[in-house]
Amino acid sequence: MKSIRALIVDDEPLTRERVRDLAARAEGIAIVGEGANGLQALDLITRHKPDLIFIDVEMPELNGFGVIAELDDDSAPAVIFITAYEQYAKKAFDVGAVDYLHKPITPSRFAAAIARAREKLERPSVAEWRRLVAAASEAERARGSRKRFVVKSGSTHYFVQVDDVDWIDAADNYLRLHVGQKTHFARGTMKQAEDELDSDKFVRIHRSAIIAVNRIRAIRNTESGSHIVELNDGMQLSSSRQYFRRVSELLS
């Protein structure tokens, strides 16, 4: 039997220890890394591409659902959620996680979850994985408008606060966040970003541009009937008529 390469992510050291112990007792599981928070989880997943992750739903900053929402098709591990809450466990199951484990974790329940994970790993499905990511994003969105982006540099992940972002444009499947002189890349589409950001603070002015409302310095009409939006840092962006309606609503 091929050994399953697994990752443990929980902010409680004693929970990680328990999972480690139980995994050691089960056959054919190799723990390749342990993380204490969401950002560490993303770093470890990028680095190790594990087959399976045990991940705590409730962690400060970036929680379990938030981690899954940031993953792409390249690294599509089987996911077992760990949680103290009944309702999260049910949700985890509904969104297509392999299984969930209640705290405190019992050996029999752990063994059952591992059996399910093996089954799952024998017939991997990208469609199922995408459903899980979509559902995790949905769960994140339900918590309110986005407060920060997770961005990646090499295999290291970090946060960019939404309030620091001047404007956003699209680059392939990524969002390009402009923060002062710096540029960061975050996962997502313009549509998602528009939906997730606070609509009082950010406005989409073009198919491929979203700007922070409080960075607007001036707006000029052009001869062709479209508009030029100038930001405080001097950046000039054009706004198509279709989207400019929303801008004028916001400013009137």
Residues at the contact surface with another protein, assessed by CB under 8 A: 11-15, 17-18, 21, 36-37, 58-61, 84-85, 102-105, 147-148, 159, 161, 163, 213, 216, 218-220, 250-252
- State which residue, 125 or 221, has the beta carbon closest to another protein: 221
Q: How far is the CB of 173 from another protein (least distance, A)?
A: 27
Q: How far is the CB of 216 from another protein (least distance, A)?
A: 6
- State which residue, 109 or 141, has the beta carbon closest to another protein: 109
- State which residue, 83 or 137, has the beta carbon closest to another protein: 83
Q: Buried (b) or exposed (e) across 105-144, using 16+ Cβ within 10 A? A: beeeebeebbeebbebeeeeeeeebeebbebbbebbeeee
- Cβ neighbours of 159 (radius 10 Å): 15
Q: How far is the CB of 114 from another protein (least distance, A)?
A: 18
- State which residue, 18 or 120, has the beta carbon closest to another protein: 18
CA distance 141 to 220: 35
Q: How far is the CB of 222 from another protein (least distance, A)?
A: 13
Contact 40, 16 (CB under 8 A): no
Q: Which strand ranges, in their side-by-side order, compose the sheet holding 216-221?
A: 216-221, 227-231, 236-239
CA distances in angstroms from 106 to 22, 111, 208, listed in the order given: 9, 9, 50
- State which residue, 28 or 104, has the beta carbon closest to another protein: 104
Give the burial class of 45: count Cβ atoms within 10 A of its Cβ; 0-12 exposed, 13-18 middle, 19 or more buried.
buried
Q: How far is the CB of 118 from another protein (least distance, A)?
A: 24
Could you give the residue ranges of the DSSP H alpha helices within 86-240? Answer: 86-94, 107-122, 126-141, 190-196
- State which residue, 105 or 121, has the beta carbon closest to another protein: 105
Residue with tokens 């950010």: 202
Q: How far is the CB of 160 from another protein (least distance, A)?
A: 11
Peptide bond connecting 60 to the previous residue in cis, omega within 30 degrees of 0:
no
